């Protein structure tokens, strides 16, 4: 017969085996939880990458990571235009820094025109990369001495570095920097999409932003394909005064609009440091 001591030893071994099994089970569950959390973090990182990839490679994304104030800061992608694809009116001043730009606060773009100054406030949570590009180009005096070369009802287009001097040329509107960057802050849910007072970037297709931009001086209903850079906070009356005589219809009927009848020169364009 089994002695009492042997039965006690067997019971102790059974308890020890059960404890070891319980510990192994708990460790396994802990590893599962850690793996699940890790996979979730990886998924978030990949999802963020997909959002940026869509916005930078031409997708018509509705809310990009760069335009979401709650999103983590992103590094801007500056796509250089190959030398053999550049226009004679391309002005090569290099590319902006590759560091992550500020994504909180505001910058003020001051455009000193021949009809008076215009101030544009840029929200860095919505347009960190566009604002960074404008800061960079302004530091190179990119727009100084240029003039606004085209207008439509409610819109005045400026920003071609080659649009200078008396009169207009067929090449006006083809100039820009030697790089491109992705859309930001598209007004997909706004009506009108481009209300009076906003400043939007001109482009030649998705994610081809450069240096040209529109002053919107009356409500305009366009497809929401143009980055809203910021809003005029001072001097909109100067744009309205400058555009009052209208345009010469040089681009009618297609693509429309014409050269402003008034010469509207950008004397200087500067961008402030970020402010809270």
Q: How far is CA 116 from CA 111, 133, 177, 242, 264, in A?
A: 8, 24, 26, 9, 10
Supply the pTM of this predicted model.
0.74
Contacts with 120 (C-beta within 8 Å, 6 or more apart), sequence order: 108, 109, 110, 111, 199, 229, 230, 231, 232, 233
- Using one digit for the tens of pLDDT, what is the confidence trace for 234-267? 999 999 999 999 999 999 888 889 999 999 999 9
The pLDDT assigned to 136 comes to: 98
A 10 A CB-CB count for 242 gives: 24
User: Domains in the chain, ordered, with CATH?
Assistant: 67-271 (2.40.100.10)
106-113 vs 116-123, strand pairing mode: antiparallel
Tell me what the mean pLDDT of segment 69-86 comes to. Answer: 82
CB burial of 102-140 (b: ≥16 within 10 Å; e: otherwise) equals: bbeebbbbbbbbebeebbbbbbbbbbbbbbbbbbbbbee
The region of weakest confidence among 66-80, 128-142, 171-185, 190-204 is 66-80
The pLDDT assigned to 253 comes to: 87
Tell me what the mean pLDDT of segment 181-185 comes to. Answer: 98
Supply the DSSP string of the chain, one letter for each residue. ---HHHHHHHHHHHHHHHHHHHHHHHHHHHHHHHHHHHHHHHHHHHHHHHHHHHHHTT---SS-GGG-TTSPP-----EEPPGGG--TTB--------SPPP-SSEEEEEEEETTEEEEEEEETTT-HHHHHHHHHHHHTTTTTTEE--EEETTEEEE--TT--SSS--TTTT--B-SEEB------TT-SSSB-TTEEEE--SSTT-B-S-EEEE-S-B---S-S-EEEEEEE-HHHHHHHHTT-B--TTTTTT--B-BSS--EEEEEEEPPPB-
Mean of the per-residue pLDDT values of the chain:
81
């Amino acid at each position: 017969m089994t002695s009492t001591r042997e039965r006690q030893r067997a019971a102790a071994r059974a308890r020890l085996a059960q404890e070891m099994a319980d510990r192994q089970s708990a460790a396994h569950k802990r590893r599962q939880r850690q793996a699940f959390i890790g996979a979730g973090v990886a998924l978030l990182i990949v999802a963020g990458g997909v959002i940026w990839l869509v916005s930078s490679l031409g997708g018509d994304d509705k809310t990009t990571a760069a335009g979401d104030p709650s999103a983590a800061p992103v590094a801007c992608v500056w796509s250089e235009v190959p030398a053999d694809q550049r226009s004679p009116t391309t002005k090569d001043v290099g590319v902006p820094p590759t560091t992550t730009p500020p994504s909180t606060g505001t910058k003020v773009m001051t455009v000193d025109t021949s009809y008076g100054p215009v101030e544009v406030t840029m929200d860095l949570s919505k347009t960190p990369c566009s604002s960074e590009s404008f800061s960079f180009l302004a530091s190179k005096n990119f727009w100084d001495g240029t003039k606004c070369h085209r207008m439509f009802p409610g819109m005045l287009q400026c920003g071609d570095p080659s649009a200078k001097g008396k009169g207009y040329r067929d090449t006006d509107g083809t100039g820009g920097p030697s790089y491109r960057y992705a859309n930001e802050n598209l007004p997909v849910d706004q009506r009108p999409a481009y209300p009076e007072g906003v400043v939007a970037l001109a482009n030649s297709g998705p994610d081809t932003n450069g240096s040209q931009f529109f002053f919107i001086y009356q409500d305009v209903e366009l497809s929401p394909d143009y980055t809203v850079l910021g809003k005029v906070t001072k001097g909109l009356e100067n744009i309205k005064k400058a555009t009052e005589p209208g345009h010469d219809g040089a681009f009618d009927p297609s693509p429309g609009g014409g050269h402003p009848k008034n010469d509207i020169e950008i004397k200087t364009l500067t961008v402030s440091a970020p402010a809270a």
